[in-house]
Structure 1
Amino acid sequence: MGRQKQFVVALSPHERQELTDMTRKGVHSARVMTRARLLLLSNQGLKDRNVAERVGVSTVTVASIRRKFVQGGLQAALYERARPKQPPKLDAHGTAILIAEVCSAPVGRETWTMQLLADRLVTLGVVDSISDETVRRTLKKTFLKPWQVESWCVAQVGADFVWRMEAVLDTYALPYDARRPVICFDEKSYQMLDHVRDPLPPVPGYPARVDHEYKRCGTVNFFVAFEPLMGQRTVTVTERRGNAEFAAQLQALDMRYAAADRIVLVLDQLSTHSPAALYQHLPAEEARRLSRRFEWVYTPKHASWLNMAELEWSVLQRQCLGQRLASVDAVEAELLAWETDRNARSVRANWQFSISAARDKLKRHYHCDE
């Protein structure tokens, strides 16, 4: 004669109906649904082995749920009791010390790392041990990111800044005139990179994967000439940057806009962005002609955001240059595809900053008669 079960499931009609409804509606978690089916089958007098096979759990689980039902009732069998919360590894005092350390410079290191901070807390006797992950989660709540460093260059806003800014904004407010086109001009350097190992293409369930190691392949220079009112841009790649390359770009613009009487050129105050570059690399008469061909409009110092070519450069970086390009040919091919697409769609800049807006935001830098 077999051993009788110590904990026998005997559901009341109400309990049986409640469990049946739960298994049919499917609005509960998978764990609760499994336990409901387990109790219904146990109520039929099936052996633990048979219940386990039909529900897909172990016989130990079946016995455990039966015991919870008999000792604690239906709710105890279906749902886990809330576990007591573990006290935080860092209390308010420990968190304050962590924040103070993050806001100070580490000795002998450039920046703090999570492991370095964890070791520091142990050294200070704040905790006996702590993981770098606990440190990371604690800092996440305080919005502190010690591994990030940002730099800035504050423009000195004075009369010189204001008049140059308004000259640029006046230029942007001009209506389109094919005889006097407005061109925003800028240049940037770009680091070419190559893969050390071939990247893996995306497959269902996995994104594309690249090795974090890369090989540097030299730098190139980009010249961006953007005509905002027509939504046309030209990006040129050169292996060097200097007066000669700048002069060559102006010669190219002169030919591209041959029908124009004069070309309005918006550019920053880089040392090479001057008519002097023309006189250094072109015959005197040609240099004089080109210098008079352009109307030079300079942005204030440290205010490159006033140059619409910067907007194009930002878009170019996001849409095209995030990949690894190892050669000048590869760079030029990608830039040509990007440039052709945007020019075909005549993508313009949505410029909103006007002189009235500037005077409102920077009114303390304007002279006002009381």
Structure 2
Amino acid sequence: MNIKYYTGTLVFSRQYAHRVNHWRKRQWCISQVTSEYLMRMEDVLDVYDLPYDPRHPVICLDERPCQLLGDTVIPLPMTPGQPTKEEYQYERHGVCRLFVAVEPLAGRRVAQVRPRRTKEDYAAFMQALAAQYPQTERLRVVQDNVNPHTAGSFSQAFDPATAWALKQRFECHATPPHASWLNMAEIELSAIARQCLNRRIASLDELEREVLACVKERNEQQRRITWRFTTPDARVK
């Protein structure tokens, strides 16, 4: 094998760059494409293909955990030619949950920072989401297929009359297992994370202020999401 040595490091020549590195691996979400998977996928894609209807808006909902981290030493501010310097050690102040719902065709989103991810937290966020759309007949919600994302959460959080009235406001569509990439809310969460979750935030209140400021700015700019993967594309693949 044509191998060169440089300052103690093993360097391979270009002609061997295409070879398989058996010691390398990456984690990936590997889906089992069953008939149930295909039906749920096409259901979500058909919802995305609907024309804009303000009486029945399509909304994508997702959530993500957020760590609350504080500094043990006050960071050194940036100077010309030098980045901010922070101590590698940090203090843990617990975790919380960021809930986000985005209406891709209207460029509108709603967010809440909740202390936990229980059925009550999900129900409270859905109630807040419904309150943002008082004039709509029903909200078409695309969400991941996880335990709290059911109408039973409304019954656990509210009295029967309130839970039933809230259930009537939603038409829910679940993504297949291991197919959260079909949920456009993940795109919105990624944008929010790049803008305001890329640093240490020590308290839930501070995190909420940062997230809501980011959401307010994106709503004012009416940042829309253009989805290009359709049912015919899925059938070809």
Q: TM-score, normalised by structure 2?
A: 0.90
Partner of 2:227: 351
Determine if the alignment matches structure 1 residue 286 to structure 2 residue 132. Answer: no
Q: Which amino acid aligns with 1:164?
A: R
Please report how far the alpha carbon of residue 142 of structure 1 lies from its aligned counterpart in structure 2 after TM superposition.
Answer: 5.3
The alignment's C-alpha RMSD in Å is 2.3
Partner of 1:217: 93
Determine if the alignment matches structure 1 residue 198 to structure 2 residue 85. Answer: no
Please report how far the alpha carbon of residue 145 of structure 1 lies from its aligned counterpart in structure 2 after TM superposition.
Answer: 11
In the aligned structure 2, how far is the partner of 1:294 from the partner of 1:235? 18
Please report how far the alpha carbon of residue 314 of structure 1 lies from its aligned counterpart in structure 2 after TM superposition.
Answer: 1.2
- Identity value in percent: 41
Partner of 2:147: 271
In the aligned structure 1, how far is the partner of 2:4 from the partner of 2:51? 64
In the aligned structure 2, how far is the partner of 1:297 from the partner of 1:205? 50
- For residues 91-142 of structure 1, what are the alpha-carbon distances to aligned partners after superposition, in whole Å with 9 as ceiling and x for unaligned? xxxxxxxxxxxxxxxxxxxxxxxxxxxxxxxxxxxxxxx85xx25x569985
The answer to whether the 8 A contact 1:139-1:145 is kept is no
The answer to whether the 8 A contact 1:183-1:266 is kept is yes
In the aligned structure 2, how far is the partner of 1:228 from the partner of 1:278? 25
In the aligned structure 1, how far is the partner of 2:75 from the partner of 2:181? 36
Partner of 1:29: none
Please report how far the alpha carbon of residue 292 of structure 1 lies from its aligned counterpart in structure 2 after TM superposition.
Answer: 2.3
- For residues 253-296 of structure 1, what are the alpha-carbon distances to aligned partners after superposition, in whole Å with 9 as ceiling and x for unaligned? 22111110111111011101001111122222222222222101
In the aligned structure 2, how far is the partner of 1:279 from the partner of 1:167? 26
Q: Which amino acid aligns with 1:303?
A: A
Please report how far the alpha carbon of residue 149 of structure 1 lies from its aligned counterpart in structure 2 after TM superposition.
Answer: 6.0
**Structure 2 unpaired stretches of 5+:** none
Partner of 1:156: 32
Partner of 1:57: none
Please report how far the alpha carbon of residue 88 of structure 1 lies from its aligned counterpart in structure 2 after TM superposition.
Answer: 3.9
Q: List aligned pairs for 1:114-153, cutoff 5 A.
A: 131=8, 134-135=9-10, 150-153=26-29
- For residues 219-278 of structure 1, what are the alpha-carbon distances to aligned partners after superposition, in whole Å with 9 as ceiling and x for unaligned? 010110111111111120011110101111111122111110111111011101001111
Q: Which has the higher contact order (CA 8 A, sep 6+)?
A: 2
Q: Which amino acid aligns with 1:165?
A: M
The answer to whether the 8 A contact 1:320-1:335 is kept is yes
Q: List aligned pairs for 1:1-370, cutoff 5 A.
A: 88-89=4-5, 131=8, 134-135=9-10, 150-361=26-237
Q: TM-score, normalised by structure 1?
A: 0.59
